[in-house]
């Protein structure tokens, strides 16, 4: 199956394997020509994973974490299930894309391993002329006779590894003092005294540690620690099985009120509003 030429880009929805796998599945895939984007003017929560590859045009990506990225042909967006976001063309420009929507435990394992990083939701891949050929081969494989959902997600993981591989080197190294610092900041459930304890464990004064950490990771250590806690909160809230009080205790907040106030300040939505966004997005994705 051939994708349309860039100059004649069209909108298509591709057929997918009907038999699902407990490991995961591809739920939607296709192309969109002259799109208005998604989540505009307000951010949306999609409820599943998606990879968007820009074929033509220029635009921007925004999300609830404060990421703002310019989008040009050859760049991709990784949509996180619970992360409110928006993207689309700049005034006077087009937005032509290829998209793949997917979900399942195998992709949560990618997140747990740090391959899916919400701090890096976009990246640059191949130029569209080359990228289209890779996607053509992928769509041919998943539409072949006998291809099951399990085959499909295995093929898709190969493509994801190729697409995300170009940005893997941008992740902070976990060797030496930085690895120790990241481990302490991520594993601790409380922030009180944490930064000075981490600086001491790394053999530095607090001020030297703060400067070196920000230079290496791009964020001050306090902000990194809190963003990591908020990201864990998003994941726990999206499960819909824990109370706000239980999440607050798990993540080391003083109480439910402290958790709710902090979460709202950092994300722009209260825990209750966030849970509702996730439920609506999950319902929409099943229609």
- At 173 the pLDDT is 55
Within this chain, do residues 24 and 158 fall inside the same structural domain, yes or no? yes
**Residues 85/47, Cβ–Cβ less than 8 Å:** no
In a domain, residue 186? The reply is: yes
| Pairing state between β 59-63 and 49-57 | unpaired
- At 20 the pLDDT is 64
Whether the full predicted model's pTM is greater than 0.95, yes or no, is no
**Residues 89/58, Cβ–Cβ less than 8 Å:** yes
Q: Of 145, 168, 191, at which residue does a domain stop? A: 168
**Residues 61/77, Cβ–Cβ less than 8 Å:** yes
Task: Please give the tally of structural domains in the chain.
Answer: 2
**Chain-centre distance for alpha carbon 111:** 9
In a domain, residue 224? The reply is: yes
CATH number of domain containing 267: 1.10.10.60
95: containing domain: 6-168
* pLDDT in 10s for each residue of the chain, 287 residues: 678 888 899 999 988 876 566 788 898 999 999 999 998 878 888 989 999 999 999 999 999 888 889 999 999 999 999 888 999 999 999 999 999 999 888 898 888 788 898 888 999 999 999 999 999 999 998 888 888 888 888 999 999 999 987 544 444 555 588 888 888 887 766 555 788 999 999 999 999 999 998 887 777 888 888 888 887 888 788 776 789 999 998 888 889 999 999 999 888 889 998 888 777 665 554 44
């Amino acid at each position: 199956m051939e994708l349309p030429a860039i100059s004649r880009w069209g909108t298509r929805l591709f057929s997918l394997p009907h038999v699902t796998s407990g490991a995961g599945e591809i739920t939607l895939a296709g192309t969109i020509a002259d799109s208005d984007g998604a989540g505009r003017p307000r951010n949306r929560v999609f409820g599943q994973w998606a990879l968007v590859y820009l074929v033509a045009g220029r635009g921007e990506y925004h999300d609830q974490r404060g990421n703002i990225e310019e989008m040009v042909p050859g760049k991709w967006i990784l949509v996180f299930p619970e992360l409110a976001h928006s993207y689309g063309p700049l005034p006077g420009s087009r937005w032509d894309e290829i998209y793949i929507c997917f979900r399942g435990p195998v992709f949560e394992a990618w997140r747990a391993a740090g391959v899916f990083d919400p701090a890096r939701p976009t990246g640059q891949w191949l130029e569209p002329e080359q990228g289209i050929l890779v996607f053509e081969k992928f769509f041919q494989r998943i539409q072949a006779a006998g291809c099951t959902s399990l085959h499909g997600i295995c093929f898709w993981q190969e493509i994801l590894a190729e697409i995300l591989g170009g940005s893997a080197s941008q992740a902070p190294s976990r060797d030496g003092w930085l690895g120790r610092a990241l481990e302490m900041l991520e594993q601790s459930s409380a922030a009180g005294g944490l930064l000075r304890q981490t600086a001491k464990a790394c053999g530095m004064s607090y001020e030297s540690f703060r400067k070196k950490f920000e230079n290496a990771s791009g964020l001050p250590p306090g902000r990194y620690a809190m963003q990591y806690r908020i990201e864990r909160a998003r994941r726990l809230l999206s499960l819909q099985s824990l109370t706000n009080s239980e999440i607050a205790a798990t993540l080391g907040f003083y109480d439910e009120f402290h958790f709710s106030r902090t979460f709202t300040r950092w994300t722009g939505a209260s825990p209750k509003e966030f849970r509702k966004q996730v439920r609506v997005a999950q319902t929409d994705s099943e229609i």
